Structure 1
């Protein structure tokens, strides 16, 4: 390396490099660059060429230019019509910028020349041969460099010049070329260049493989397209419509003839065009076909004509259902409003009641009475939001949600749509289906219901939605807010008798191939069947027992060749076996420490016997019978109240220190909870501690406070029916529930004595046997 420096104009290069011994054409257009070029032409035509670090800069600063560049001679300069200068330059020597002398009008720099560093000649010769071999392989793969170039390069015997010439022919990044330009040691430069060529060759090999694969794929696609077009032409000439083209044409005709809205038809046509282009073997083909078929299967405008005639509706409801007068009245009111408003909008009806009371059949009767198609979906156990809204088509096996599936079954846009067991929906990590139901049941939103599979909005505003539930407390609040509840309590014995005779028995006769001439069942047999073989709010088990009766009779008729079987109260056990339940739950005699409570469960009303015993101990209170938190708290409250009133109740004031008390609710395997057992527990406790018996015919319901107040409860109608069923004659109820007595069927109301109370003292007065009358 020489330490001498020379001052020379600088021409910054964008995106390219000039190596020593390299001849290259350049177009120069920037003002500073043109000024530097003209200055060089006025001198000895020598100029310094250095690359910019960033190609995008139009006005580079000294820090934006690489320090190592090439000293070059301007061989030729030509001014072009557009104002730029085309110059021919030849690289002479490597150089390094020492400092910038001028950068205002043009770049002028002070440089020093760089000398190449030689090593072992034999090693350099070996590296030159290796380089030429790699370069030859590169030329074969690249096909951008001619064989003549290889022959020219092969004649060069200087290792540094060979490396520079080869580098100038390679498609390397500017950064890599600059690195080679800055490498003064010839051995290092040759090694580095061999490494770069090897990498480039690998990339070119990969490019070639990809290119061949793409070409092969394109050729296959083009061939398939050409053959399909030929097949279409042949089928057209033969007048055949087989194959996918015929299928697409048939689908297009169906879409055009359908009653879809214009926007849906556009979507269907667009999907048909996609379907036609996609190969039949492709998985996407079946997805698109399935989607188009769903669009065609859905009703978009098809309606049934409503025939809302109140007398006709009442006749059908009476034909299909015995009793349920208030429920029928509410349904008729609802239909009357729809007739006046001429639209089925308003609250969503929700029929609430125990299993087997006829909720689903009521919805069917409503559909029949107004001449609408009926469709039912069960929501029991649904815990995935996609069950309501559908799956997106990107998933394998995607399907629309249950709402859209129901509309497909209905085949009209205005069916009666039953959402069965809406209280049985659950939620987990897959989403909350009850939240998805909000859009379905909201009259303000359901005109634009969105299903993930269909994607386009679907109008549900003409649908009459009816929901059913067993238990109101399990329905989420926001969903409950959109519905109007119609409570259906259990049936009385009289109602069950009529239902059995007029509906269930004729139905089972027909199903079992019998007639009224073959089998007769007396009223006393029906009553015994209801009382001792079933215990339920509805009539589902009653129908099963009647079906069993019919099968037994059929067997007798066939095997014993009898023409007729008559079932009486006495012969019932011969057919059905021993009775299952004891008629009535009332105690046979007055009991000490046992009180009968009334409970309301998801299956309707029921009686609940609460037993209390006490024995010497240290005041421990034991609760058994699988009681929930609410009932346990009721027991604690009753115990605390009795302690505070021990003197007035004639109980030893230290009983809580000298006795252990055990409260038990029989049928321990059944979970029990609810805020209506307080006064029953208190009565049983007082009875056990005073020795006064509880009247056998008395049932009671109500919650208790620490001051002895009796709080109101729910489900009085169901509880009253269970009391009547159990053979009780007197019911003690909270005073605030007195207004609910009128909801109880008259036949039950007339046989029960209701005693409204506001304080526990009143409960004890009516529930416990008088001290001087205990023997009775």
Structure 2
């Protein structure tokens, strides 16, 4: 290192360094740099070259420039048309800036020349040879440096110059090159350079491997594409579209032509790409194809235009169903609200009633009245949640759930969707399907219904859901909360008569190839058919019996036995055989210990005769007739009440010590239960213990407490119909059921006298005669 400082103009370099003995071209364009270059040319054509710390700086200051650089000789200078100057420089030796003299017009610096520090010659020679080997291997991997360069470098025998020339040909970071420039110790410089080349060679090796791998992959893909295109061309020439590629092409055309949302189309295309790559013999191939076909089959935006006209809907409902006025009124109100709001969001209608009363046909009529497609699924017996939500595609034989299957059959996004027998769902270890139905029936959630098979959310918000059920108490509470109940109690005899004449009989004539001239059924015959050959709240069995009559009549006509058959009440037994049922008829005489109760059964209402007898014993109470827990408790409560009020009722207070009591409800094979037989049992007990007969024209329903209070019951309409059919003229009901009288048909209401009671004393007053029976 010289002790005498020298001064030179400074040229800051961006993105490169100049080493001693290195010759290269530079383009100079910045004002300060041009001024420094001109000042150098006016002198001895030497200039100080130092690199900027940050390449992006347009106007660097002294702190932004490395202090170790290279003194260079400007060999040539050429001005270019664009205003920049191209110069050819040759590095002379290293230098270190000690002071910046001028920074205004151009950079002028004071510097000291840095001299190389050498060690042992043999050690430096060994390092040079090692560096040459590494450099030779680097050239082979890099393929950016010519073999001539290697030959030139090999001829250099000065360690310092050798290291600088090798460095100038390497693709190193500016920071690494600056570190090498600042190293005056030649031995350290050679060692550091060997380490850098070794690291750089590893990176190049890795790049080469990656490049080779990518090339192999691309070649394979190109080969597959080429072969696939050849196969398509061959199939096209042969006029065939066989194999998986043809199938994939057909599916792709269907996806392009479909109107499914963009996100669903993207998923279908992605699956198609997988389908093409999976071997046709693979099980996954059929799974993917099945999935794509389901996406294509589902309606995504297709819909029918609503045509809600209340008058038209009224006419259709009246034409399809006789009676059910309150039910029709509620449906018309529902449709009116839909028309005003232009939105399907609202309560889910649930039609509740016995079998055969027309719940399903009502839903069909609603669909027809508003011009929507109709689809029905049965939920009876479903125990697996996957039946609603579908199975995941990982399972063998996976399919979508019943809801998605129903939407596929509907072919539109806004059908009338009937969920039949919603009360028949069960749950087991596979899950609770009713819990899955909560999302389906919730207007706030069903816009994003998730099926495990489809995986993507499906919008059910445009669907008009209607549910049906036989029993309310079998519907889970959370599901019941999402539905509005419309009760269809059953038909009166008058309504069944009209339904048979206007709907069922003409239908059976058509189905059995008969005409009105061939078969006629009188009204008295229809009434007998309803009363003694069917026992139901609906009309399903009635239709079967009418079909039976048509078949037997067809046989007589075809055989030539008769040309025209007229069915009357007298000749009906010849056609249909003996009556199937002895419909509950009231007692013909006042009876002691026999009271007529009113019951609600699965087929509507019926009367229930309760008989009581007593005989010498020790106060044992016997209950027979296959009574359930509730009716047994009612009998116990009635027995206890009578014991507590024996004197007021003119009964021997010790009757329970001297007599055994037997309460029997006929038809013991039929299970009977329900909270409405309490006052009937109590009346029959009091009748047998006092000897006062029960009035034959009186029927009763109501539960009793230990204090004699009469509690309200359900199913008053059905019970009243059965009382009317049995010939009763008076029925005793709890006072709290007065509000339910309006639901009873007017024709029935006019023939019955309703006695409203709050206490058993009132029941006995109206039900028992004043005089005792002769045998008492």
Q: Give the TM-score of the pair, scaled to structure 1.
A: 0.71
Distance 2:697 2:724 in 1: 11
Give CA deviations for 1:510-566 in whole Å, capped at 9, x if unaligned.
000000011111111111111111121111111111000000100000112532111
Q: Which residue of 1 aligns with 2:527?
A: 527
In 2, distance between residues paired with 1:344 and 1:602?
Answer: 33
Is the counterpart of residue 562 in structure 1 residue 548 in structure 2? no
What SS does structure 1 have at the residue aligned with 2:300?
Answer: coil
Aligned ranges for residues 501-540 of structure 1 at < 5 Å? Answer: 501-540=501-540
1:93-492 alignment runs, 5 A limit: 230-236=230-236, 238=238, 240-492=240-492
Shift in Å, 1:719: 1.0
Cα displacement (A) at 1:642:
0.6
CA contact (8 A) 2:717 2:743 kept: yes
What's the CA shift for 1:229? 6.1
Task: Give the aligned partner of residue 81 of structure 1.
Answer: 192
- Tell me which residue corresponds to 1:97: none
How far the C-alpha of 1:225 sits from its partner, in A, is: 9.2
- By how many angstroms is 1:629 displaced? 1.6
Question: Helix, strand or coil for the counterpart of 1:81?
Answer: helix
Query: Cα deviation per residue 1:645-685 (whole Å; 9 max; x = unaligned)?
Result: 01111111111222111212222222221111111111111
Note the residue ranges of structure 2 that are not aligned, 5 or more in a row: 1-129, 131-187, 197-219
Larger radius of gyration: 2
Q: Could you say which residue in structure 2 is the equivalent of 1:740?
A: 740
Q: Deviations over 1:99-140 (max 9, x none)?
A: xxxxxxxxxxxxxxxxxxxxxxxxxxxxxxxxxxxxxxxxxx
Paired positions, count: 569
Displacement of 1:375: 0.5
The Cα shift of 1:603 comes to 2.3
CA distance in 2, matches of 1:476, 1:275: 43
Name the SS for the 2:192 alignment partner.
Answer: coil
Identify which range, 494-503 or 579-588, moves more after superposition: 579-588
Displacement of 1:224 after TM fit?
Answer: 9.5
Q: 2:356 touches 2:540 (CA, 8 Å); kept in 1?
A: yes
CA contact (8 A) 2:248 2:276 kept: yes
Partners of 1:722 and 1:440 lie apart in 2 by 39
| Contact preservation (8 Å) 1:584, 1:727 | no
Aligned counterparts of 1:82 and 1:587: Cα–Cα separation in 2? 122
1:239 Cα offset (Å): 5.7
- Aligned equivalent of 2:655: 655
2:667 aligned with 1:694, yes or no?
A: no
Kindly provide the CA deviation profile for residues 585-610 of structure 1, in whole angstroms up to 9, marking residues without a partner as x.
21122221111111122322222221
Match in the other structure for 1:610: 610
Q: Distance in 2 between matches of 1:612 and 1:278?
A: 79
Q: 1-side partners of 2:623 and 2:229: how far apart?
A: 84
- Note if contact 2:724-2:752 (Cα within 8 Å) is conserved in structure 1: yes
Helix, strand or coil: the match of 2:596?
A: strand
Secondary structure in 2 matching 1:667: coil
Cα distance in 1 for residues equivalent to 2:569 and 2:607: 26
CA deviation profile, 1:612-655 (whole Å, cap 9, x unmatched): 12221111112222222211111111111111001111111111
| SS of residue paired to 1:673 | coil
Within a 5 Å distance, the mapping from 1:585-596 to structure 2 comes to 585-596=585-596
SS at structure 2 position matched to 1:381? coil
Residues 616 and 658 in structure 1, CA contact (< 8 A), matched pair in contact too: yes
Matched residue of 2:382: which SS?
Answer: coil
Is 2:633 the partner of 1:633? Answer: yes
Residues 226 and 662 (structure 1), Cα distance of their counterparts in 2 relative to 1, 3 Å cut: farther
Match of 1:574 in 2: 574
Query: Does the C-alpha gap of structure 1 residues 371 and 578 become closer, same or farther in structure 2, counting only changes over 3 Å?
Result: same
What is the CA–CA distance in structure 2 between the aligned matches of 1:608 and 1:446, rounded to whole Å? 46
TM-score normalised per structure 2: 0.71
CA distance in 1, matches of 2:487, 2:602: 12
Question: Do the aligned partners of residues 227 and 760 (structure 1) sit closer, same or farther apart at CA in structure 2, a change above 3 Å counting?
Answer: same
User: Is the partner of 1:566 in helix, strand or coil?
Assistant: strand
